[in-house]
Structure formats: C-alpha cells, structure tokens
Amino acid sequence: MSAAEGPLVVGVDTSTQSTKVLVVDAATGRVVASGQATHEVSTGAARESDPRQWWDALGEALHQCGDAAREAAAVSIGGQQHGLVTLDARGEPVRPALLWNDVRSAPQARRLTDELGGAEFWAERTGSVPTASFTVTKWAWLAEHEPEAARAVRAVRLPHDYLTERLTGVGTSDRGDTSGTGWWASATESYDDEILARVGLDPALLPRVARPGEVVGTVRDGNGLPFAKGTLVAPGTGDNAAAALGLGLRPGTAVLSLGTSGTVYGVSRRRPTDPTGTVAGFADARGDWLPLACTLNCTLAVDRVASLLGLDREAVEPGTSVTLLPYLDGERTPDLPHASGLLLGLRHDTTVGQLLQSAYDGAVHALLGALDRVLDQDADPSEPLLLIGGGARGRAWQQTVRRLSGRPVRVPEARELVALGAAAQAAGVLTGEDPAAVARRWNTARGPVFDAVERDERTLERISGVLSDAAPLLERGPERG
C-alpha cells in the first residue's frame, strides 16, 4: 500500500445481501483497501436476516483490508433502511431482523393509515404514507403476530444502528435513516409520541438521534475488529442518504439507483409531504431532505426474467409491443404488496429478446413515473440523470433509461457509493467539513455522459394504460392454493 496523503477513514455499506468496506484516503478520496462478505436472507414470504451475521461480515470484510483498517482514524456505517432489529436485555437479537422487502406487514400498513388520520395525516406528520417496507408497520406486525417476542424487546434498532452500537456501546441513530421508520415526525425532527403510542412502542427503546457531523463515540476495546482503540465513529445513515453523500449531491439533480430495489431521489431544501404515497419524505444525512420513490422490483426481477428465458441480461431486442409488469415480489411503487408479475400482448412473432426488453421497460417506467414528484420545481430538465447501482453499467439499463426518460444520463465511475458516502461522513467528522463537499472534492460523480434521445412516449403510454386497466387484478394478487 502506498503512503496516504491524509488520514485514512473507513466507510461501510451493510446492504441486504452483503457488507462492503472501503478504506479511503480522506485527503484525496483514493480507495486504498476494500473487502466484502455476504449475508444470508430467508426466502419466501419472510425476508429476514440474523443481525449477528452482519457483525461477522463486517469483521471479515475489515480483515480483508489488512493494516489499512487498523490505521483508520474514523469509521461510519451506511446500511439498508427500514429493517426492524429487536434486542433483548443483553443486547442479543430477540428474533431475526425483518428486512425492508418483507411485505407481510401490508395489512398493518393499511390499518395504520386508515385508523390514524389517513394519508394526509401521515404525509404531513412523518413526510411519508406507510407501506409494508416501513419499520413502524413491521413493529405492528410483530406485536400482533409474535406478542411474546415483542414483550421481550428492550431495544429497537435499524440495521446501521445495530452495528454502530456494537462499535461504540452507545445507542444512536441519525435523521436520514430514522426518517424512514414511520415514527419520526419530520416537522419537529423528533420521535412522534402519538404514533408510538398507537403501535405500543415505548420511546425509551429507541436510540438517540445524533446531529449531522456529530462524533457519536469511539471504537471500544474487545470487539474483535481491526480498529485502533479510540477510532472516531460517525453517526452513519441509511443507504440512500449515504449514496447521496457519496455523490456530493446538490438540489436539482436526480439519481436513479438500479439495485435489488430501484430508487429515484434528489436532495431538496423543502420538507416533502406527498399524500399520494408515491414519494417518501426522507431526511438526508446533512440537514436537508431526500424525497425518494422506491420500487421493490428492479435488477433482481429483470435478471429473473432473463434466467427464465435462458438469455444473457443484455440480450434485448427492440420493437416490442409486449407489456411486462415485473412485480415478482409484490410492489411498493405502485403500492401493490400482494401483486405478481403481469404479461400482456404476447404474439406469435414476439421474440424472447423483446420479452426481456419489456421487463426492462416495466421496471424503468415505475421509477420514471415518480421522477417529477421527486425533483424540486426549479430543477433543470436538461441536467443529466445520475445512474448508479449494480445495473448502471449495463448497456440495456442505460439505453432503456435514456429512451424512456428522454434525458441525458451520467454514469459515475466511482463504485460502492454507499460505502464511499459513509467514508465521506467519517472524513467530515475528522475535518469538520460538510461530507457532501468532501465527496465533491473527491470528484466522485465523475463519469461519462450519454446524450439524450427522443422520449418513447408510445411505450410509456402503453404501460400506463395496462397498469391502470389491470389495477383491480393486481391489487387482488395471485391466487394461492
């Protein structure tokens, strides 16, 4: 490893399926070491993980970084949002964590919305209308279906909170991740006592919400990780807020993130309140806001369609009139938690490549439908969309986004933007800088720009029409024997 120009910092991305670690030179943004370890996630209706494996994966990924991790001066954890981590009096998990893509709490989401003021109440109070992804609905599900487990809980945490607390011994969270729980009032930036009382959750079980830029503690002795004693620990944040930091995002620029889930978001100075539920009114990790729309079905759904067809994921063909709504795991945007995939318009001359293209079209249509709601009113429509995530480097994803958006697209060269954003936050607690400014200094958004092409209005209108006509069928979901 060559000598660093500044202190080293560690950024962590504990995502749904793996933990990734970057050791970064705080002066230049150069990645000097990296590591990765996988997680297990249950399949079927339950999407759960044992939080202890996240800690084990963090240790494995850090050890892959060698001496660089031991030299780090600060660390920050970015993590998957919404997951419900329940701990007992010893700090051990009461049960596996319910993850963001576990949709069993859809009935609780509807009930909470209806019984506590309706969509307008929730949008104004928390910035978001509850869906099955939100933590508040998962706690309501747990209290209803596993009351003994709920009674045993002595602390409730989000995934990044859990790892941060094991590093420091102190229970803290941040505004970015906490804003996705459904029990944080965005207008007052505090826990909402009325909502907590409605779901029977004692606010004493929740972590303190740290201020942006605060040092929440230092790495304690005896935790088995290769950090020096006294290494500073930043607040951390949710994965989308961390990626926004990693891009140095400014208001007016939209991000399309193509991962297991798909998200579209942008930084805003206005507190979002969308009663339609399309846009979640999240906070960012700096003090601004991060209006965001999320789809459950993105790269994983398209890859599954490619696998069923026996095709490489890039083997798309143009000219399709087929519509495929790829709701293989239910859906969040639109809010159809029990939906299944829907295929319409199949003909004798339809090719498998055209079928695959229709899966891309269906996934991108859902994200672009929320784009105008996410962006500030004064956003420049000629500004390139930033395309990130695992699908961003795929040619079929790039071309589909360009064709259906009619906008130029930039693909940042930097990889692992959640971990990179966490590293920028760690650098910020060392230097006192705005972490987004740190990322801009590192030039993390640098990458090729693909010019705009004519927007494919015909395909957009066809998919919208099918979605509207099929809504009653989709809401019923699949018949189960």
In contact, 363 and 378? CB cutoff 8 Å: no
In contact, 328 and 301? CB cutoff 8 Å: yes
In contact, 289 and 324? CB cutoff 8 Å: no
**Both tokens of residue 276?**
């339609």
Give the whole-angstrom CA distance, residue 424 versus residue 413.
17
Contacts of 53 (CB under 8 A, 6+ apart): 39, 40
**Both tokens of residue 109?**
């989401």
Length of the chain: 481
Angle, in degrees to the nearest 10, between helices 159-168 and 51-64: 60
Virtual torsion, Cα 423, 424, 427, 431, nearest 10 deg: -170
Q: What single-letter amino acid sits at 231?
A: T
Q: What single-letter amino acid sits at 276?
A: T
Residue of 443, 10, 100 whose CA lies nearest to 292: 100
Tell me 390's DSSP state: T
Q: Which member of 25, 239, 329, 335 is catalytic?
A: 239
Listing DSSP states for 112-150 in one string gives HHHHTTHHHHHHHHHSS---TTSHHHHHHHHHHH-HHHH
Residue 10's DSSP bridge partners are 23, 75
How many other CB atoms sit within 10 Å of the CB of residue 390? 16
Give the whole-angstrom CA distance, residue 138 versus residue 147.
13
**Is 197 strand, coil or helix?**
helix
Clarify whether 13 is annotated catalytic.
no
Contacts of 257 (CB under 8 A, 6+ apart): 240, 243, 263, 264, 265, 388, 389, 392
Q: Which sequence positions are flagged as catalytic?
A: 239
